[in-house]
Amino acid sequence: MIIDEKLEKIMLEDIKRCDNAQKTAEGSSELFQILISKYDGIFENFKNEIKVTGKVSVGGPFNYRPELKAIKEKLEILLAVNESKMKEMDPTYEFKKQYASDLIILDKYITDSRKYRIF
């Protein structure tokens, strides 16, 4: 499966959510369920390859931080594999990616110049 820009953006946001969830077990169970539901529908056998332990601390919430770390790593690998496939399929992929990045930077400069009335 080729991951388009919209799905890539969602995946990158979820990777950040997994990172942020490492600070506390609170909410990790809910985030785990949300991400498993989301990605198991997109990528075949997504949840089958993630070992679920979900331990509860004494009087505290369930701790799904190890599972969220596994989800994060799996998403990172899927993005890396996708990038390799894109490079194979499109010889101008790197150019297009750099071009898009340059446009974002130029847009920022234009916005900043208007903000500070440089032009």
pLDDT above 90 as % of the chain: 44
Bridge partner list, 62 = 56
Exposure string for 103-119, b = 16+ CB within 10 A, e = fewer: eeeeeeeeeeeeeeeee
Output DSSP code: residue 56. Answer: E
First to last CA, the chain: 45
Q: What contacts 119, CB < 8 A, 6 or more positions away? A: 113
The pLDDT tens digits of the residues spanning 71-84 come to 999 999 999 988 88
The pLDDT tens digits of the residues spanning 25-47 come to 889 999 999 999 999 989 988 98
Domain ranges across the chain: 5-90
Tell me the mean pLDDT in the region 96-107: 87
Sign for the CA dihedral angle at 79, 51, 19, 17 comes to positive
